[in-house]
Amino acid sequence: MSLRQSLTLARTRPISLATPATARFASSSSSSSAVPESESNGKLPMTWSDYLAMRKRRKQWSTLTTIPTTLGGLMTGASYAAQHSMTAEGATLLGFDPMIVYGAGTVGAMALGYLIGPAIGNTVFSLTHPKLSKGNPSPLEVMDREFFNRIKERRADPTRQSVNNPAPDYYGEKIVSLQAYRRWLKDQKAYERKVSHGVPDEA
């Protein structure tokens, strides 16, 4: 190779300023600054962003179905009580005043509707999202298990909570996004500092 060709290659070849040490630092920096969903999704069937979005939607279905089932239970119990005269059964019913029995039955029917609602909502969600709900375990079951394992590992000890300082969101019910998850972690740490050192919560 001639001298002129060597000089030409030297001018056109890009020059790297990275040393092995700086390259390792850059690699570690990028990995440490990754958001939780980038914690090597590994064998998980979904990203955390997608899972939390589906979790929020499933919770919305449960809420939407709980409202009509609760009202339906209330109306059914009240209708049954209204169709039966309070005095037709005699002075007592099952040893109690009829008003108490029918009232308790109405409340019980409303409570039953409240408990059935989430199950119906989860069923509707499963039918509308078959790819996430099929399998043994299904993708959502895998993510649910992983999510609650993380919650158990990172939540604060509630044994020292008080009326003025309750443990924040013990089961992580309010976590519906990565931002909400980060806020939940901050709340856990703030609670621990307050019960351990008397440090006030962050604003």
* Per-residue pLDDT tens digits for 19-76: 344 344 334 333 333 344 444 445 889 999 999 999 999 999 999 999 999 999 999 9
Residue 147 forms part of a structural domain:
no
The three-state secondary structure class of 17 is coil
Span 97-151, pLDDT tens digits: 777 888 888 999 999 999 999 999 999 999 999 999 888 889 999 999 999 999 9
Q: Would you say residue 172 has pLDDT above 90?
A: yes
Instruction: Give the three-state DSSP class for 44.
Output: coil
Spatial separation of the C-alpha atoms in residues 173 and 139, rounded to whole Å: 19
Residue 98 within any structural domain of the chain: yes
Q: For residue 86, name the pLDDT band (cuts at 50, 70, 90).
A: low
CB 187 within 8 A of CB 167: no
Query: What is the residue range of 190's domain?
Result: 168-203
Say if 195 falls within a structural domain.
yes
- For the chain, how many structural domains are there in total? 2
Asked whether 168 and 187 are in contact (CB, 8 A), the reply is yes
Specify if 12 maps to a domain. Answer: no
Residue owning tokens 């039918």: 127
